[in-house]
Amino acid sequence: MKTPLFFAVAMFLVPVIVHASSHGLPQTLLESTPQAMPQSTPQEVYEQAIDMAASGHEKEAIAHLQGAAAVLSVGDIWQERMALAAMFIDMRQHQDFEPKQFDHHSTHARLAGAYLKGSARPEAKNSWLPGVLASIFPGAGHAWQGRWRDAWVAALMVWPMIILTLWAARRRMGPVTLFFAMITAWLWSGSVFSAVSLAERGAFDLYLGWWQGLWQASALPGRPW
């Protein structure tokens, strides 16, 4: 019983092994293997990483740049660019204003240093205040940010449900009151979330404007946004 099974497995495996030994790895494996670094020029590696950062893959871009910078010799212009670009992308990721381990020796770093000294930094606004306002009065968090249309939408979303819940509670409608209360809590929390999210987005937009200035002032090639 076991012998035919053994032959069946062997008949399947032998051609695969013979093919692999004569043609190398199967094509699917080759496709999934990362391209070897020496095949690309430093500029190509740099451009790939900038494209990654532009498409939101910041961690991968940083790893790509740091790895390539470690391979290149110190003093190479692309090594300096890669190290600085990795540092700046890391700054953007954490919304930092001060780079870590900043080395002023390269031309790009000196230019960036001048920008860091001379530029006015945007004031970081807390996102908790719009959240608190939206928690107290639905729509107030958006209005405080000057987003009046959004404030109207948020208010129209929550206030009718608050009134409906209070109406049901007054009429002692029990489970109906509970149902309305749950919907109200969901919508109200959503409007608070929205106020906080928009405050975070606004703060990031301000930071991003400053950070793009830093990138351009340093004269690094490419645009990771």
Partner 1 sequence: MRVSVRMGVGIYIILAVSAFVLALGWKYFALPASSPHLFGIHFYQHVVGDLDGRSCPAYPVCSVYARQAQAAHGWLVGSWLMMDRLIHESDDLQHGTWIVFEGEKRLYDPLSRNDFWLKKE
Taking the least distance from each CB to partner 1, the nearer of 115 and 210 is: 210
157 contacts partner 1 (rule: CB under 8 A): yes
Q: Judge residue 157's burial from the number of C-beta atoms within 10 Å of its C-beta, 0-12 exposed, 13-18 middle, 19 or more buried.
A: middle
- Give the integer Cα–Cα distance in Å for 205 and 203: 5
Cβ atoms 103, 79 nearer than 8 A: no
- Give the integer Cα–Cα distance in Å for 223 and 207: 16
184 contacts partner 1 (rule: CB under 8 A): no
> Smallest distance from the beta carbon of 184 to partner 1, in angstroms?
13
To 10 degrees, the CA torsion angle through 38, 41, 88, 112? 130
100 contacts partner 1 (rule: CB under 8 A): no
**From candidates 41, 119, 189, 216, binder to partner 1 by CB under 8 A:** 189
- Give the integer Cα–Cα distance in Å for 161 and 188: 9
Cβ atoms 203, 68 nearer than 8 A: no
- Give the integer Cα–Cα distance in Å for 186 and 223: 40
Taking the least distance from each CB to partner 1, the nearer of 92 and 108 is: 92
> Smallest distance from the beta carbon of 166 to partner 1, in angstroms?
21
| Helix, strand, or coil (residue 154) | helix
183 contacts partner 1 (rule: CB under 8 A): no
Q: Which range touches partner 1 (CB under 8 A), out of 22-30, 78-86, 104-112, 181-189?
A: 181-189
Tokens found for residue 31: 């496709």
154 contacts partner 1 (rule: CB under 8 A): yes
**From candidates 102, 128, 137, 152, binder to partner 1 by CB under 8 A:** 152
Cβ atoms 84, 218 nearer than 8 A: yes
The pattern of x and - marking residues 113 through 142 that bind partner 1 according to CB under 8 A reads --------------x--------------x
Q: Footprint of partner 1 on residues 25-64 (CB under 8 A)?
A: 56
Binding site for partner 1 (CB under 8 A): 56, 93-95, 127, 142, 147-150, 152-154, 157, 186-187, 189-191, 193-194, 197-198, 200-201, 204
